[in-house]
Amino acid sequence: MTIAEGIIIKGIGGFYYVEAAGEIFECKARGLFRKSGIKPLAGDFVTISINENAENTIDQIHERKSVLVRPPVANVDRLFIVSSVCEPKPVLLIIDRLTALAVNQGIEPVVVFTKNDLDDAESYVEIYKKAGIKAFSVSCVNGEGVNLIKAELKGHISAFCGNSGVGKSSLLNAIDPDLSLKTGEISDKLGRGRHTTRHSELFKVEGGYVADTPGFSSFETDETELILKDDLPYAFKEFEPYFGQCKFSSCLHVKDKGCRIIQAVKDGDIPSSRHESYCSMMEQAKNIKEWELKKNK
């Protein structure tokens, strides 16, 4: 038996594929993880036993720097939030939830608009640049912007996330044609994707790793993806210059009364769509707190 340190590249059907010392080992997770409710994730740094006459096992999962529920990946330091300008159209609330979830986990969000050969992406890109978030527009058809995304991957552990059909796998293929990832057709007029990518998988690109992940079709938040009321303003970095300047120290920045952040929205210094997303997330955060309080009584 040999002990080795590695990283989980993907998990399928109860097996985990661990890269260690330049090789891939198929491993089973030890029962103790199931008992403690910890599920190994793509991106986890692990200690494994390599056995000659028995299954290889994951013996230990090292402390995670970050963890995302959707897509399920660990230790990512950059999250590429991918939307297409059409087929399907961007939903800013989904993008903003994802940027906030990333920031709340200490992950840098990068917003990418694909298919800019089909429609103009500039107005979208501007919103995010104004909010101090890195934003790009790309096309896998004519290659525009692809090298800029490639450069952003350098030396990071990244994940691509976004709706099915926005072109995550296509963009990764454009960045590195050797990946030859399967891509799908758009299924109808609404531009829904067909869930072509079925599991999260890490690939080596530019001296780092990038995870391609299955697209989602809707974005129902569950509890694990909520940001607590008190943390939420900090997940919108463009609010920060105005903290401490509202009339009421308890200001939640959703009502006009003396709110400096709402003033900044009116002045055009904070994009109004970002503030709208914030308000709807705050509404949800408040409800969950009440519900939890009731449950604990």
165 contributes a contact to ligand GTP by CB under 6 A: yes
Are the C-beta atoms of residues 166 and 83 closer than 8 Å to each other? yes
Which residues inside 172-191 make contact with Zn ion, applying CB under 5 A? none
Point out which span in 119-127, 186-194, 239-247, 266-274 binds ligand GTP (CB under 6 A): 186-194
Contacting residue, 183, 205, 227, 236, with ligand GTP by CB under 6 A: 183
| The entry of Mg ion, ligand GTP, Zn ion, none that residue 140 binds, CB within 5 to 8 Å by partner kind | ligand GTP
Q: Give the span between the Cα atoms of 196 and 199, in whole angstroms.
A: 9
Per CB under 6 A, 193 contacts ligand GTP: yes
Classify burial at 210, counting beta carbons within 10 Å of its beta carbon; exposed 0-12, middle 13-18, buried 19 or more.
buried
- Half-sphere CA count of 8, side-chain side, radius 13 A: 33
Give the three-class secondary structure for 98: helix
Question: Which residue number, 184 or 241, has a Cβ lying nearer to Mg ion?
Answer: 184
Indicate whether 253 belongs to the interface with Zn ion (CB under 5 A). Answer: yes
**Which residue, 180 or 245, has its beta carbon nearer to Zn ion?**
245
Does 115 participate in binding Zn ion (rule CB under 5 A)? no
Binding flag, residue 176, ligand GTP (CB under 6 A): no
Which two tokens mark 242? 């105005």
Residue 241: CB minimum distance to Zn ion, A: 13
Residue 124, H or E segment: helix 122-130
Q: Which of 143, 149, 129 is nearest to 208 (CA)?
A: 149
User: In angstroms, how far is CA 112 from the centroid of its own chain?
Assistant: 12
Residues forming the site for ligand GTP (CB under 6 A): 114-115, 117-118, 139-141, 164-170, 183-186, 193-197, 214-215
